[in-house]
Structure 1
Amino acid sequence: MDTLELTPNALAVLRHRYLRKDSHGNVIETPEELFRRVAAAVALAEERFRPQERTHWEAAFYEAMAGRWFLPNSPTLMNAGTAIGQLSACFVLPVPDSIPGIFGAVAEMAIIHQTGGGTGFSFSRLRPAGDVVAETGGVASGPVSFMRVFDVATDVIKQGGRRRGANMGVLAVEHPDIEAFVTVKDDRTALTNFNLSVAVSDAFMTAVEQGAGWPLVNPRTGEQVRSVDARELWELICQAAWRNGDPGLLFIDEVNRHNPTPEVGRIEATNPCGEQPLLPYESCNLGSINLARLAEGGVFDWGRLDELVELAVRFLDDVIEVNRFPLPAIAEMTKANRKVGLGVMGFAEALIELGIPYDSEEALAFGERVMERIAAGAREASAKLARERGPFPNFERSRWKAQGLPPLRNATVTTVAPTGTISIIAGTSSGIEPLFALAYHRTVLDGQDLPEVNRLFVQALRREGLDPEAVLEKVETTGSVRGIAEVPESIRRLFPVALDLEPSWHVRMQAAFQRHTDNAVSKTVNLPADAPVDAVREVFRLAYELRCKGITVFRYGCRGAQVLELGRVPSFVAGERAVAHAEFTGECRICST
């Protein structure tokens, strides 16, 4: 379609989901034109501050995206420079404890989904099932019942015509309906458009440790309804996560310890993939730097990383300026805090380029060094923008002001997102996830099958004089090379896949990045099909001890058909032209992004 270096799978994703189409569904835009459209639309923000620099930044934004150095979240790629104009990926909406409030939230959700955004909700303020409804003399049906209304509405509204609707449902661990919430996905047809998280407090984790009772409290009255054994509730959560991949845990006190604007409000929910805690009516726009590009040739380019960080923060702040927000309340809250989330993709492939196994202390140290460098550079870039444009309006009420930091343009600057489809466009691994597999198939784009083989693995085999076709025949059933004796140990060590890793490596890597991330880190702890429930317990406990903000486990095959599967890779994909540059493990299970 043009001269950009894009893989066949990247082109398939772009054609299906991102490139503009005419009224008949015909593609009328090339990838180059897409990146130019986005760059021009975002750079219009420069007219408000330094109009003489607009063309400079437009060119810089284009080069960063077209060169696969940096990509923004999907709604920006889809909607910038179009009539929709809604560029943010992440939203949190409040759910008041009233019929008008609940169905008002459903309507607001539909508007956001229509423009390509994903929504998170805390249902913790809703009175429990069986509670009195004074106005009618009836009884309440409870949060789980109302969540089904949101789920059905999401089925009807397909995001922007190009993305599935995506939701996060959060319920506080002290809510009287917590058991029903935890086990709702035992019905495989229930809440299929939701990821679920239990908002777990420090007090609950202490009660589990001590084997104490745990009070369940009616949010309407503030009174205790009954008490349960904390360990039994913990076991119920772990068993459900083992069976279904849901719920995850949201460590709500840890989240709020890092809330940049506690005077403005308490955080109760996140976006659908969990990496973006937000206040009610807040939105956030995300972007990711391709670390694999910075490691090409086996030497990491720290100077180029610094340049990309400054450019990306400016890009994301410009997005807020030109964004067409779906609701006035969202525009007001977003502009008051101006949260942005810069993260990474291609981490696993960067490690391979540098000769560092994912499951090693060296990888943990490198990951933490990278995120620390990004965080420092992003904060400095935000301070520079504050000098040029002014700080975010709530800065005087923020913890940054209380800590004596200089004025900042953005309340937050860093987030590690799953980068599902944008990593395919970039031709690299997703987020900070390990390789899902060395050869596998990905079911995306409304059922389209994309066979993938990791290009770096094929290159390594050829350097050793091995026949990729022969090796891949053995790899494709498990996705892993670690059990294939004829492959040199150096390759087996350098190319672990998600299910090769002990679960603790997943959690420790998430924690390494979280230590230098303002918001949160999207990371899936992949477990083999035969993993015991004890593995879930250990992962959840370790994540809490290492101060992650949330945690998700996914036992392979626990939901039957899934976005990524092993054992169905055609032999021809090892051919030179069909070798895919990307793979995936951390894709949002709901929206596939």
Structure 2
Amino acid sequence: MRRVESGERWSLFDPKVVPHLSDLHGDDFDAAYSRAEAEGHAMKQVAARDLYARMMKTLAETGNGWMNFKDACNRKSNQTLLPSNIVHSSNLCTEIVEVTSAGETAVCNLGSINLARHVGDAGFDFEGLAETARTAVKFLDAVVDINFYPTPESAASNKRWRPVGLGLMGLQDVFFQLRLPFDRPEARELSVRIQEEIYFQALSTSCELAQVHGPHPSFAETRAAEGVFQFDLWRTTPREPARWEALRDRIRLFGLRNSLVVAIAPTATIASIVGAFECIEPQISNLFKRETLSGEFLQVNRYLVRELKGLGLWTEDVRNRIKLAEGSIQSVAEIPQELKSIFRTIWEVPMRSLIDMAAERAPFIDQSQSLNLFIESPTIGKLSSMYMYAWKKGLKTSYYLRSRPATGIAKTTTTRVVEASKDVACSLENPETCEACQ
């Protein structure tokens, strides 16, 4: 990324010639890479910006080939105190970043808190969140002992590190219930406070488990053994430093039962089951069709429906115009501007805000977060700037790049749809009749 920024060239090596590079990061990688270049081991050299542009082109075309940052993953990991412990990769969904080796295959035990169930008349229920987090960590830790391991390497890794990944879902539900636009300062502050509480309670519970059962076998090899928390690695100060200092002292005394405790996984299936919005993302649309193995289901934003009913605006005409706008309410004149701000879709929320919010909560996530990025009409220029910004903000990983089809479909509720410049018969409720939908 530095060479992209400065317009330099990038060298491509045969991994058989420089096998040690995969086990290095940071300054050690830089030195070994430059030395290999100087010794003439490069098989080919290309402009770093050309290679980066190819990567962006692949992302735009497929949504895959996720940009993850090895230096950030290693520098900000509790497991990498010793130079021999290296994070080589993430899991598929990019929220799990753990050390691996020839003898250890990283494993993690995941769970997600439904934030939507932690909002009451008085606002967000942090006491309830703390209780849920503490209960969840105990359950997740027990999985380490009762789980089935398909290989000796996975069993060895999980028993030695005992990592768990407590995540969340329904952040958008919380903002809807509190009537907060997704990226308003109050919403961003609440997002960080929620993440800090989960991290604190997870570490506290892990320390209590260590006091009873002993710390995980590799505790001495972790940064926590030296009193270092994730937010220290980000050079961030928590809200209540006094309670963190007390916890730091307890961890030095008793250790931790788990080397890692927090990871925000994608929650597509379980969020649908409990009726919440996925993980940390804004809503895709106020009205959309979900396809599952059980069939197709029309889903409507119940929070918006409640607001519009209260204003007497949940009429057939308004519903039709929301459908025509593919679930957006921004063009419906009757709807107040306040609601338009609250009920924006992901296509109407700046990606800079989404990246900023991810960076703001990251000091309280000792693994990583499945961060989808969304751009309606991707170009190499837009993507280049977006991922460069994510790298500069210090993010460890990113997930899918989501974009919309080049030919959009404007739906009506009766019999017509405009697809590109062609009219075809269609019905939102009966997409099998539409050539475009098929």
TM-score in terms of structure 1 length: 0.58
Question: Any conservation in 2 of the 1:378–1:414 contact (CA below 8 Å)?
Answer: yes
Separation in structure 2 between the aligned mates of residue 444 and residue 272 of structure 1, nearest angstrom: 21
Instruction: Give the letter aligned to residue 369 of structure 1.
Output: R
Pairs aligned (count): 361
Please point out which of 246, 251, 258 is paired with 2:69.
251
- C-alpha change, 1:553 and 1:329, in structure 2 (3 Å) is closer
Question: Any conservation in 2 of the 1:244–1:559 contact (CA below 8 Å)?
Answer: no
Separation in structure 1 between the aligned mates of residue 413 and residue 364 of structure 2, nearest angstrom: 41
Residue 368 of structure 2: SS of its match in structure 1?
A: coil
Question: Any conservation in 2 of the 1:451–1:570 contact (CA below 8 Å)?
Answer: no
Q: Which residue of 1 aligns with 2:164?
A: 340
Please point out which of 431, 443, 453 is paired with 2:300.
453
Instruction: Give the letter aligned to residue 551 of structure 1.
Output: S
Question: Any conservation in 1 of the 2:182–2:282 contact (CA below 8 Å)?
Answer: yes
Q: Which residue of 2 aligns with 1:321?
A: 145
* Match status 1:235 vs 2:53: yes
Q: Which runs of 5+ in 1 are unaligned?
A: 1-204, 572-593
List aligned pairs for 1:176-575, cutoff 5 A. 205-222=1-18, 223-262=41-80, 263=82, 265-280=85-100, 281-297=105-121, 299-403=123-227, 405=248, 406=251, 407-445=255-293, 448-477=295-324, 478-528=326-376, 530-552=377-399, 554-557=401-404
Q: Which residue of 2 aligns with 1:587?
A: none
- Name the % identity: 29
Q: Which runs of 5+ in 2 are unaligned?
A: 19-40, 229-247, 415-438
Cα shift at 1:500: 0.9
Instruction: Give the letter aligned to residue 385 of structure 2.
Output: E
When the two chains are superposed, the root-mean-square deviation of aligned CA atoms in Å is 2.1
Cα shift at 1:551: 2.1
- Which structure is richer in relative contact order (CA contacts within 8 A, separation 6 or more)? 2
Cα shift at 1:403: 3.1
Cα shift at 1:220: 0.7
Instruction: Give the letter aligned to residue 92 of structure 2.
Output: P
Instruction: Give the letter aligned to residue 271 of structure 1.
Output: N
Residues 70-111 of structure 1: CA deviation (Å, up to 9, x unaligned): xxxxxxxxxxxxxxxxxxxxxxxxxxxxxxxxxxxxxxxxxx
Separation in structure 2 between the aligned mates of residue 569 and residue 350 of structure 1, nearest angstrom: 31
- C-alpha change, 1:476 and 1:290, in structure 2 (3 Å) is same
- C-alpha change, 1:559 and 1:318, in structure 2 (3 Å) is farther
Residue 481 of structure 1: SS of its match in structure 2?
A: coil
Separation in structure 2 between the aligned mates of residue 211 and residue 250 of structure 1, nearest angstrom: 21
- C-alpha change, 1:567 and 1:273, in structure 2 (3 Å) is farther
Separation in structure 1 between the aligned mates of residue 411 and residue 274 of structure 2, nearest angstrom: 24
Cα shift at 1:442: 1.4
Instruction: Give the letter aligned to residue 206 of structure 1.
Output: R
Question: Any conservation in 1 of the 2:53–2:380 contact (CA below 8 Å)?
Answer: no
Residues 109-133 of structure 1: CA deviation (Å, up to 9, x unaligned): xxxxxxxxxxxxxxxxxxxxxxxxx
Residues 248-291 of structure 1: CA deviation (Å, up to 9, x unaligned): 20111000112222235211111111111133311101111111
